[in-house]
Amino acid sequence: MKFLNSVETFLRVVELGNFTKAAQVRNVTPGMISTQISSLEREFGVRLLHRTTRKIVVTEEGIVLYQRLKKIVQDIDETKSSFLTPSMLTGKVRVVAGGLIVRFLMLPIVPEFSARYPGITLEFLLRNMLRGSKGDDGDLTIRYGPFENSSLIVKPLGNTHIVVAGSHDYLARHGTPKEPRELLNHRCCGFVDSGSGQLTAWQLERDAGEQFQFFPKHTLMFNDSVSLLDAAISGLGLVWMAEAFLQEAFEQGLLVPVLTAYRHRVEGPSVLYYGDKMMSARVRAFLQFLTERYPSDASLTDSCLKLKVLSQG
């Protein structure tokens, strides 16, 4: 078992290119990662990695061994999975996602998943990046695109519309815009992508094909999507946000849609991962469960409403 642990550590180091990142994923110290790699090098009698203070370079022997060991670990994992029932799966699944994704997409499915897989612990790591590549410290990342890392597998969790919304109190005080250009005279709450540091432009589309993309006057800016939603509910300004995340506020009368003739259709957030070959059975179980609850060809809003009805029934 120690040998297999060292093998899995080596595969992670090669894929992540960093001892610290591999240590986070393996939930051990960087020193333990170094010890396991050294043990594996002694076992095979070759140098697998050239380590410097700035980067890691895989040797020719390391590349050959990586390719062979990856297939062996895949076969072992598939064999183990064939004998495991849902109640036998144990361990932690680390999911990197934004606050609204966790609140409106993840938490509603946790009770059913936990009932089916009682031995699996879900750990949600909040990262409020609108766009970017996979988070290095998670098994899965759920995020909006586009995605620059071509080695990632990307599965959309449905589609949605981005709409403008505001509270009754705000609209009573400042009026309701009838045209997109009127947004320039309103207090707006904007989202700053934590990954790029850039403010997100608002895009609006009309059925006739008219398109508008602009930066309204942002009175408030947040890099936290939950705070952005709370600000709108508090009457601090208008927001431009995925309809699926606003639906509950609409139903409760906390917010109302604005400029309803202008909606921007996009793919919903996607789940990102490096591939099935190195995926543990527990992570595969959650991935399958997640994509079943949020089919890529369905409306994200409809999927959320369906889950709500099922939970109430």
74-102 burial, b if ≥16 CB within 10 A, otherwise e?
A: eeebeeeeeeeebeebeeebbbbbbbbbb
The closest of 140, 124, 123 to 269, measured between CA atoms, is 140
Q: Spell out the CATH class of 159-267.
A: alpha beta
Stronger pLDDT, 171 or 52, i.e. the higher one? 171
CATH number of 2-83: 1.10.10.10
Confidence of residue 231 (pLDDT cuts 50, 70, 90): very high
Residue 275: per-residue pLDDT: 67
Per-residue pLDDT tens over the stretch 250-300: 999 999 999 998 888 888 889 988 765 567 788 889 999 999 999 988 898
Give the H or E element holding residue 256: strand 256-258
Residue 128: per-residue pLDDT: 65
Residue 150: per-residue pLDDT: 62
**What is the percent of the chain with per-residue pLDDT over 70, rounded to a whole number?**
88
Residue 146: per-residue pLDDT: 67
Stronger pLDDT, 16 or 123, i.e. the higher one? 123
Confidence of residue 211 (pLDDT cuts 50, 70, 90): confident
Residue 277: per-residue pLDDT: 53
Per-residue pLDDT tens over the stretch 130-172: 444 455 568 899 988 767 666 678 889 999 889 999 999 999 9
Has residue 224 got a pLDDT over 70? yes
Q: 3.40.190.10, 1.10.10.60, 3.90.1150.10, 3.30.70.260: which CATH number matches 89-157+268-312?
A: 3.40.190.10
The closest of 257, 142, 128 to 204, measured between CA atoms, is 257
Mean pLDDT, range 21-33, rounded to an integer: 83
List where CATH 3.40.190.10 sits in the chain. Answer: 89-157+268-312
Confidence of residue 208 (pLDDT cuts 50, 70, 90): low
The closest of 173, 141, 163, 170 to 154, measured between CA atoms, is 141
186-214 burial, b if ≥16 CB within 10 A, otherwise e?
A: bbbbbbbbebeeeebebbbbeeeeeebee
- Residues 51 and 59: beta-carbon distance below 8 Å: no
Residue 214: per-residue pLDDT: 82
List where CATH 3.40.190.290 sits in the chain. Answer: 159-267
